[in-house]
Chains A and B, each alone.
Chain A
Amino acid sequence: MRNETQPVVTLTEFKTANRPHCLHRTLSLTKSVLALLLGLLPGLLPGLLLSACDSKPEPNSLYRALGNSDTEGYLRAQVVRPFHFPEDHSAHPGYKNEWWYITGNLQSDKEQQFGYQVTFFRIALSPESVDRKSRWATNHLWMAHAAITDITSGKHLKSERFSRGAADLAGNSSDPFRVWLDDWQLTGNGPNFPWHLNIKNDQFSLDLEVAPKKPVVLQGNNGLSQKSPEPGNASYYYSITRMETKGKIQIHNYQYQVSGDSWLDREWGTSLLARDQVGWDWFSLQLDNNQELMFYQLRKPDGSAHTSSRGTWVDAKGVKTDIPPEDIDLKPLQWWTAPNGAQYPIRWKLSFKSQQREWIVAAAIPNQWMDVAIKYWEGSVQVFNANDTRQIGRGYLEMTGY
């Protein structure tokens, strides 16, 4: 049985695939998600959360605690499926996890530079649908993260939210397209683009409109993205690698008119990672010449790259080429230490062997640490030619499991 061989997979997946958040070097991704769920309720199960950090994790007790390690009953990403848009922009509730992930680099009319990240996560707690009298009844949790990097003044602000997927507090719809958690909303023009992103919070707000400049890219094998050799440890994954973005952002009391390019990642699945994967370094780079590179390096406990690491090269016309793990070589050049002691590489040398290119990918500012329930590093990066140090692009980087 799949479950027996891969007991760990369960909840994790939802981050696994992409952008995750981990606690500790010793923790597998799986555990980080568990911890995340535990962290949803800071007061709930405090002992568990602590023990997860302090001692060697015991997956079984954690699963028992969460009561939901089962992938039984959920749909699995096992075969290539046809994608239909705009329908597939909306949720796929039969799978355990799903997210809408948007990052982008923006500049104001006065040449200030900003990076931003917004993610909505859907997490199912059980596969069966809920039929109860109370409208509050649910088996879905929603989580959202938002962050803004004020590159010019070197500031990074972040925020997170949780909600039950019920009582219209959080959820999604396809026509009109809408994904929301409280007053954080991503809404379409009917079922279509442009999408309007509205994020408000005490310190900053985003009021942006995004519209694709390039076609949808089906990642992996026609959208089936295998994260480890085990069948079903995969997700359905598509991206829109370049989206025209304009609107307003506000940081504290300052408002900026901004424009730039954003990147959309959409992913859903039920189980993803293997035991021997502890974290990832996930690059989404937009080059000035209208080409894009996506590459995720899944790391093994010893820090080396897992063979399931993958990437995609998208040319100016939107044609994609798969990148096998041996084609990319990643070398950390400089480390940044987070307040909790975790060290993140914030400057990388990326060698793209088949294209004989060498780039330096560097954090726009060192501290873009997501100090939320589950800690990870996610931030705006700049891409330089390794030989002449000329900036040739921008992008986003997510690092977990450090």
Chain B
Amino acid sequence: MVKPLLVKTSFRHLRRHPWQTWLTILGIALGVAVVVAVDLANQSAKRSFSLSLQMITGKATHSIVGDAQGIAESFYTELRTQYGLRKSAPIVSGQLLVKGRQYQLLGIDPLADNSIFNSGIGLSEPSGLDLFLKPNRVALSASTATALNLSVGDWVEVTHNSLSSRVQVVALIANDSPLAAQGVFLADIAVAQELLGQPGRLDRINLIFENEVPQALIDRLPANMELHKSEAINQSLTQMTAAFHINLAAMSLLALLVGGFLIYNTITFMVLQRRPMLGTLRALGVTRAQLFTLVLGEAAILGLIGTLAGIVFGILLGQGLVQLVTRTINDIYYSIQVTSFLVTPGSLLKGSILGLATSLVAALLPALEAARSEPVSVQQRSSLHQRIARNLPKLGVLGCLLCGLGIVLAYWLGTSLTAGFVAVALTVLGFSLIIPQCVKALSLLLQGLMNLLPDSLVFRLALRGVTSGLSRTGLAVTALTIAVATTIGVGIMIGSFRSSVDSWLQQSLNSDLYISVKGYAGNSSTPGLPKALIEEIQRHPEVSSIWQNRTTRVDSSSGTLRLMAISEAADNTRGFNLKKGDAALVRKAFFAEKGLLISEPLAFHRNLTVGDQLTLKTIDGEKAFPVLGIFYDYTSSQGLIIMAQSLYQRHWQDQNVSALGLYKTKQADSTQWTDQIRQLVSDYLQGTEPGYQAAETIQVRANSEIRNASLAIFDRTFTITHVLRMLSILVAFIGVLSALMALQLERTSEFALLRATGATPLEVRRIIYIQTGLMGAFAGLLAIPLGYLMSTLLIDIINLRSFGWSMKQQIPVSVIIEGFTLAIIAALLAGIYPSRHCAKLTIAQALREE
């Protein structure tokens, strides 16, 4: 039993060291918060994702999807009136721009078999069916309506590509309906066709088959349509984002690792600091069991408070993160709509276990130690620490082994993404075990250097202080190193990625000016540029040559792929950025229609290489095309095919052109020329194509504009990574602050002795600053190789396996300086309070305590 008196001593101690107590709690809370937040954000995004899918497929077991032109609506009529396939529902979907944001428009037939949609439309606000069927009427979820500041009866302008319409909100969708996803505009199918400007076309037909798919349907399915199982569609989309979610989870685990280290560190210090008092208690007759329970109980209570605070903070933080996560998914994968932020018990449990378990584990050894200690020995350095110090070399060897194992696993043994993460974890863990030895080595090295310099007692004292308390300082340095290394590693990775993308953009965008149909994102039904306009541009005297492309999607045996069909241009010197294959030869074969090129991620995911065949569904059925080369491409992690325009037109009968690249003649003045072309396009649009609203349909962009826009998207995509990186630094910062502070405070008596023997307060303060500064410097130094190692693994293993993108590792000096500075600042900040405290202390009293 722990007596109330004992509890009181504990309480008193915590109260006497409020800084330390709060920092301990804060450290735990932050560690827990990051893990909880990332986990919650991940779960919410995943759920939104699956809801988005559900919204499209509903309870359908199968879907019919069409080719680039979609599905002729008459086919649906045929299905129902002739084949009696009544469990079928037509879907029209597309993007709408409303008040500057993208929303998904979902067009349904509310009168088609209702069970296709889970629970129907569930319009909560009274509104008649007749109203819903009228032109330009939509229904929204309450949250979307709120976000857009709309209520029932309001009109709002919506735009799809260049087509603008005013629509009226006639109903709110009940929040429990699966169609209530945020960011969805629900409309009658006729309204949707009109708003999207695609009368006559459906995007998909959802079907329910209780048993087998009738052979009759399979036989009658037109060549340009495909029947898919819903699960297969959902699965492939889910797989797409799996890598991304794993990446995020790994980031949060890294935060967990750092958080764990720090929690361990702070709790250990808190216990060790009280050794004298614990010894006294033992001398007064407190039993070992009581002491053990006391120490553990204290850690548990701090852990609990920290964990609870962490969960609350994590939930708040998660709400912000989920937006970032969703945005990234939207940017690189698939348009999803966030329904709501989801607080899953699983995530909270994970965070709680982390906070509590780490606190308890951290307190276990010190608690045992405290219990075991004899009253006499308490004033000596703990035997635990001596043991740890003795074993440090052994730990170092173990660390080297783990590191080696991690690297071997990464490069030679495993090929899966999970193996990649295990390898990273092993490497980081291994390295962290070596750090105390490295600190010792660095200190010795410094000492050696000291001998060459004029003697400085202050510096020498500070340095010895670091090595003598290696069992504790080592831990603090380790935590700081990992945190800083993470920022360096991720920083290098993102920097390398960005510069790879940038140089790729520069190479890819070698036309002077681009003209494209607005809003084309490889969307199936993108209209083409007007033929007459293309001819007019070609005739322009200062246009040296043009290059045409058609972006669309084609079906392969394993899903839909993006395809870009391009024409040859005299001025196009671009060598396709080939990863594999001889540029000149490939180019020749490519335009001779000998085959196609595939992007690196496609090659990676499909395990394709030069010489293999890729089977695509053409208008005349399946056809295998040889792979001529593999090119670098960062536009999509799902893969891209490039094909000669002539080859594409022959097999798909699609003469449309999505974009043009223009080269100016040598003598033309760049600015004037650009203005001329813009004018030409705008005149053309106003004059001849009343259907096109000038400049809104067709955009003319210089290559630099495209490049900047692309990089802006890139940066947006990595916001979440940056945020996580900053968060893990914050966790480390707080942890290091409290650990170092505790470390210095524990030495109060040492400093008092120094003062007694003649050291001035200034000298003591210097010693403390130098000491923490040295620790920060060591951590910063050691973080550089670890960060480099981490970035290498991230680039070579994790990114490649997640996305199929390879990139050139580049080490931005700024990232390293940033990391190093960060370490030193954290360490110096940690020195402020102890140095003030020690400089101000009354010598006699401090010594008496000793």
**In the complex, which residues of chain B have a beta carbon less than 8 angstroms from the beta carbon of A380?**
none
**In the complex, which residues of chain B have a beta carbon less than 8 angstroms from the beta carbon of A135?**
73, 190, 199-200
**In the complex, which residues of chain B have a beta carbon less than 8 angstroms from the beta carbon of A64?**
126
**B199 adjacent to A133 (CB under 8 Å):** yes
Chain B 324-356, CB-CB to A under 8 Å as 1, else 0, gives: 000000000000000000000000000000000
Segment of A156-164, A305-313, A337-345 in the binding face: A156-164
Chain A residue at minimum C-beta to C-beta distance from B114: A42
A216 interfacial by beta-carbon distance below 8 Å: no
Interface size class of B (residues with CB under 8 A): 35 or more
A182's partner among B81, B117, B134 (CB-CB below 8 A) is: B81
Q: How far is the CA of A44 from the CA of B122 in the complex (A)?
A: 5
**In the complex, which residues of chain A have a beta carbon less than 8 angstroms from the beta carbon of B189?**
134, 136
Chain B 125-141, CB-CB to A under 8 Å as 1, else 0, gives: 01111110111000000
B372 interfacial by beta-carbon distance below 8 Å: no
**A137 adjacent to B82 (CB under 8 Å):** no
Chain B residue at minimum C-beta to C-beta distance from A205: B84
A163 to chain B, nearest CB (A): 5
**In the complex, which residues of chain B have a beta carbon less than 8 angstroms from the beta carbon of A162?**
111
Chain B 86-125, CB-CB to A under 8 Å as 1, else 0, gives: 1000000000000000000000011110100101111110
The 10 closest A-B CB pairs, nearest first, are A43-B120, A67-B128, A125-B130, A136-B190, A183-B84, A134-B190, A137-B190, A65-B126, A134-B193, A66-B128
Chain B interface mostly: loop
**B135 adjacent to A137 (CB under 8 Å):** yes
Q: How far is the CA of A45 from the CA of B125 in the complex (A)?
A: 7
A125 to chain B, nearest CB (A): 4
**B126 adjacent to A61 (CB under 8 Å):** yes
**In the complex, which residues of chain A have a beta carbon less than 8 angstroms from the beta carbon of B134?**
126
Query: Which interface residue of B73, B81, B86, B122 has the most chain A CB atoms within 10 A?
Result: B81
**B194 adjacent to A132 (CB under 8 Å):** yes
Chain B 57-86, CB-CB to A under 8 Å as 1, else 0, gives: 000000000000000011011001111101
A29 interfacial by beta-carbon distance below 8 Å: no
B177 interfacial by beta-carbon distance below 8 Å: yes
Chain B residues 629 to 680 lying within 8 A of chain A, measured CB to CB, are: none
Query: Which interface residue of A64, A167, A180, A183 has the most chain B CB atoms within 10 A?
Result: A167
**In the complex, which residues of chain B have a beta carbon less than 8 angstroms from the beta carbon of A40?**
110-111, 129
**In the complex, which residues of chain B have a beta carbon less than 8 angstroms from the beta carbon of A67?**
127-128, 130-131
- A-B CB contact pairs (8 Å), 13 listed: A41-B111, A43-B122, A65-B127, A67-B127, A67-B130, A134-B190, A136-B193, A139-B130, A164-B133, A167-B73, A168-B81, A182-B80, A182-B84
**B121 adjacent to A43 (CB under 8 Å):** yes
A222 interfacial by beta-carbon distance below 8 Å: no
**B129 adjacent to A66 (CB under 8 Å):** yes
Chain A 134-146, CB-CB to B under 8 Å as 1, else 0, gives: 1111110100000
Chain B residue at minimum C-beta to C-beta distance from A200: B84
A37 interfacial by beta-carbon distance below 8 Å: yes
How many Cβ-Cβ contacts under 8 Å join chain A to chain B? 115
Q: How far is the CA of A48 from the CA of B127 in the complex (A)?
A: 10
B188 interfacial by beta-carbon distance below 8 Å: yes
User: Contacts A141-B111, A168-B81; is A136 near B130 (CB within 8 Å)?
Assistant: no
**In the complex, which residues of chain B have a beta carbon less than 8 angstroms from the beta carbon of A164?**
109, 111, 133
Q: How far is the CA of A68 from the CA of B200 in the complex (A)?
A: 28
Q: How far is the CA of A296 from the CA of B122 in the complex (A)?
A: 38
A80 interfacial by beta-carbon distance below 8 Å: no
Chain A residue at minimum C-beta to C-beta distance from B74: A168
**In the complex, which residues of chain A have a beta carbon less than 8 angstroms from the beta carbon of B83?**
183
A392 interfacial by beta-carbon distance below 8 Å: no
**In the complex, which residues of chain B have a beta carbon less than 8 angstroms from the beta carbon of A45?**
123, 126-127
Q: How far is the CA of A125 from the CA of B189 in the complex (A)?
A: 17
Q: How far is the CA of A42 from the CA of B110 in the complex (A)?
A: 10
A46 interfacial by beta-carbon distance below 8 Å: yes
B187 to chain A, nearest CB (A): 11
Q: How far is the CA of A309 from the CA of B194 in the complex (A)?
A: 48
A82 interfacial by beta-carbon distance below 8 Å: no
**In the complex, which residues of chain A have a beta carbon less than 8 angstroms from the beta carbon of B74?**
168
Chain A residues 56 to 84 lying within 8 A of chain B, measured CB to CB, are: 61, 64-68
User: Contacts A43-B122, A66-B128; is A169 near B77 (CB within 8 Å)?
Assistant: yes
User: Contacts A44-B122, A47-B124; is A126 near B130 (CB within 8 Å)?
Assistant: yes
A251 interfacial by beta-carbon distance below 8 Å: no
Query: Which interface residue of A48, A125, A139 has the most chain B CB atoms within 10 A?
Result: A125
B120's partner among A44, A47, A168 (CB-CB below 8 A) is: A44
18 additional contacts (CB under 8 A) given A168-B81, A182-B81: A42-B120, A43-B122, A44-B129, A65-B127, A67-B128, A125-B128, A126-B130, A126-B134, A132-B190, A132-B194, A137-B133, A138-B190, A139-B130, A141-B129, A164-B109, A180-B81, A182-B86, A200-B84
**In the complex, which residues of chain B have a beta carbon less than 8 angstroms from the beta carbon of A185?**
81
**A169 adjacent to B120 (CB under 8 Å):** no
**In the complex, which residues of chain A have a beta carbon less than 8 angstroms from the beta carbon of B190?**
132, 134-138, 166
Chain B 371-404, CB-CB to A under 8 Å as 1, else 0, gives: 0000000000000000000000000000000000
B177's partner among A43, A132, A136 (CB-CB below 8 A) is: A43
Q: How far is the CA of A225 from the CA of B263 in the complex (A)?
A: 88
A182 to chain B, nearest CB (A): 5
**In the complex, which residues of chain B have a beta carbon less than 8 angstroms from the beta carbon of A136?**
73, 109, 188-190, 193
Q: How far is the CA of A126 from the CA of B137 in the complex (A)?
A: 15
B126's partner among A48, A68, A163, A166 (CB-CB below 8 A) is: A48
**In the complex, which residues of chain B have a beta carbon less than 8 angstroms from the beta carbon of A183?**
80-84, 86
**B76 adjacent to A167 (CB under 8 Å):** yes
B129's partner among A46, A61, A125, A167 (CB-CB below 8 A) is: A125
**In the complex, which residues of chain B have a beta carbon less than 8 angstroms from the beta carbon of A48?**
126
Chain A residue at minimum C-beta to C-beta distance from B130: A125
Chain A residue at minimum C-beta to C-beta distance from B123: A44
Q: How far is the CA of A65 from the CA of B125 in the complex (A)?
A: 9
Q: How far is the CA of A61 from the CA of B126 in the complex (A)?
A: 9
Query: Which interface residue of B76, B80, B121, B124 has the most chain A CB atoms within 10 A?
Result: B80
B86's partner among A68, A161, A166 (CB-CB below 8 A) is: A161
**In the complex, which residues of chain A have a beta carbon less than 8 angstroms from the beta carbon of B114?**
41-43
Query: Which interface residue of A45, A132, A135, A200 has the most chain B CB atoms within 10 A?
Result: A45
A167's partner among B77, B122, B123, B126 (CB-CB below 8 A) is: B77
Chain A 160-187, CB-CB to B under 8 Å as 1, else 0, gives: 0111101111000000000010110100
**In the complex, which residues of chain B have a beta carbon less than 8 angstroms from the beta carbon of A161?**
86
Chain A residue at minimum C-beta to C-beta distance from B131: A67
B735 to chain A, nearest CB (A): 52
**In the complex, which residues of chain B have a beta carbon less than 8 angstroms from the beta carbon of A163?**
111-112
Q: How far is the CA of A68 from the CA of B130 in the complex (A)?
A: 7
Q: How far is the CA of A65 from the CA of B170 in the complex (A)?
A: 11
Q: How far is the CA of A325 from the CA of B608 in the complex (A)?
A: 85
Q: How far is the CA of A135 from the CA of B80 in the complex (A)?
A: 16
Q: How far is the CA of A341 from the CA of B199 in the complex (A)?
A: 48
Chain B 503-527, CB-CB to A under 8 Å as 1, else 0, gives: 0000000000000000000000000
User: Contacts A43-B122, A45-B123, A65-B128; is A169 near B80 (CB within 8 Å)?
Assistant: yes
A129 to chain B, nearest CB (A): 13
**In the complex, which residues of chain B have a beta carbon less than 8 angstroms from the beta carbon of A41?**
110-111, 114, 120-121, 129
Chain B 176-203, CB-CB to A under 8 Å as 1, else 0, gives: 0100000000001111011000011000
Q: How far is the CA of A128 from the CA of B110 in the complex (A)?
A: 21
**B130 adjacent to A66 (CB under 8 Å):** yes
A158 to chain B, nearest CB (A): 15
**In the complex, which residues of chain B have a beta carbon less than 8 angstroms from the beta carbon of A66?**
128-130
B188 to chain A, nearest CB (A): 7
**In the complex, which residues of chain A have a beta carbon less than 8 angstroms from the beta carbon of B194?**
132-134, 137
**In the complex, which residues of chain B have a beta carbon less than 8 angstroms from the beta carbon of A46?**
120, 122
**In the complex, which residues of chain B have a beta carbon less than 8 angstroms from the beta carbon of A182?**
80-81, 84, 86
Chain A residue at minimum C-beta to C-beta distance from B78: A168
Chain B 154-185, CB-CB to A under 8 Å as 1, else 0, gives: 00000000000000000000000100000000
Chain A 18-45, CB-CB to B under 8 Å as 1, else 0, gives: 0000000000000000000100111111
User: Contacts A68-B130, A136-B188, A164-B133; is A169 near B81 (CB within 8 Å)?
Assistant: yes
